Amino acid sequence: MQVGVIGIGLIGGSMAIDLKKRKFADRVVGVESEQLHAAAAKEMGLVDDLVNLEDCIAESDIIVVATPVSAAIRLIPQILDKVDKQIVTDVCSTKEKINEMVHYHPNRKNFVAAHPMAGTEYSGPWAALSGLFDGRAGIICNAEDSDIRAVELVKSMYDCLNMRMIYMRAAHHDVHTAYVSHISHISSFALALTVLEKEKNEKNIFDLASGGFSSTVRLAKSNADMWAPIFSQNKENVLTVLDTYIEKLQEFKKHISDYDEQGVRELIYKANKIKRIIR
């Protein structure tokens, strides 16, 4: 089996490593439009070969689109135009817009919309890791629109990556990821901006940064080219969650302004319930 990975960054690169190492693929080829990333991926041996898009489509059994979602939404219909028996899948963090783009494509059944929920705050081929997906959730959306054998093949690929699969509607996926992933990133970017603005004047402020700060600000290192299109494509859900988040901050602000410690305490008691979920 040949796997073609389009976009050899954190996700594409990590898949390439383990699909070859764990023998799901005999051969992994990559397509990478950024010259530096392509050269690094080659030097690091992440793929067996770098090829052009046409050859990747023509020669691979599975084509994994692992680009930012803005590029994926253009690429996936173009790739579907050219496939015969090849299976196409993606790894993008928003699913509803992609789903709409391919819904009436004559080769829709060759496409499986997927989202392996794994990552780090780093990006590029040098961020690729063996074991990145182990034990994490992998999502397949709108499986009924895909050929059943296509879904089975993609599932077997994620089985090889030790993911636990969850099936859901694209629209649900986008609501849930807005809550558990997209808002975390915005909260972390905004925290970094807040503290960096202060730091301009106060050089030593970071001497005091403790582990708690590092933890909440970690995601602020994440890649702009990946995240800006995610927020656009999931605009409605992200704005809904962002409004709720700002409301909660306003509640803190009000209680603190009023010296209402009991009010603050009750907000914290409620927030503490996250303990039963995140260990």
Binding to a copy of itself (CB under 8 A) within 241-270 occurs at: 241-246, 248-250, 252-253, 256-257, 259, 261-262, 264-265, 267-270
Q: DSSP class of residue 245?
A: H
Task: Using the Cα atoms of residue 257, residue 260, residue 265 and residue 266 in order, give the sign of their dihedral.
Answer: negative
148 vs 256, beta carbon nearer a copy of itself: 256
Interaction mask 45-84, a copy of itself, x per CB under 8 A: -------------------------x--------------
Which residue, 102, 131, 96, 119, is CA-closest to 235? 96
Task: Decide if residue 36 touches a copy of itself (CB under 8 A).
Answer: no
Nearer to a copy of itself, 28 or 226 (CB): 226
Q: Comparing C-alpha atoms, which of 116, 110, 95, 115 is closest to residue 149?
A: 110
Residue type, 245: Y
Which tokens hold the place of 156?
A: 């077997």
Closest CB to a copy of itself among residues 148, 224: 224
Query: Smallest distance, Å, CB 187 to a copy of itself?
Result: 5
Toward a copy of itself, which CB reaches closer, 20 or 173?
Answer: 173
Estimate the crossing angle of helix 224-233 against helix 69-82, to 10 degrees: 80
Query: Cβ of residue 144: shortest distance to a copy of itself, in angstroms?
Result: 19
Residues that bind a copy of itself (rule: CB under 8 A) add up to a total of 93
* Nearest distance, CB of residue 69 and a copy of itself, angstroms: 11
Task: Give the SS3 label for residue 260.
Answer: coil
Q: Which of 2, 10, 5, 29 is nearest to 226 (CA)?
A: 10
Which residue in this structure is represented by tokens 């106060």?
202
Q: Pattern of binders to a copy of itself over 168-187, x per CB under 8 A?
A: -------xxx-xxx-xxxxx
Q: How far is the CB of 66 from a copy of itself (least distance, A)?
A: 17
Burial class (CB in 10 A: 0-12, 13-18, 19+), 46: buried
Per-residue contact flags (x/-) with a copy of itself for residues 205 to 224, judged by CB under 8 A: xxxxxxxxxxxxxxxxxxxx
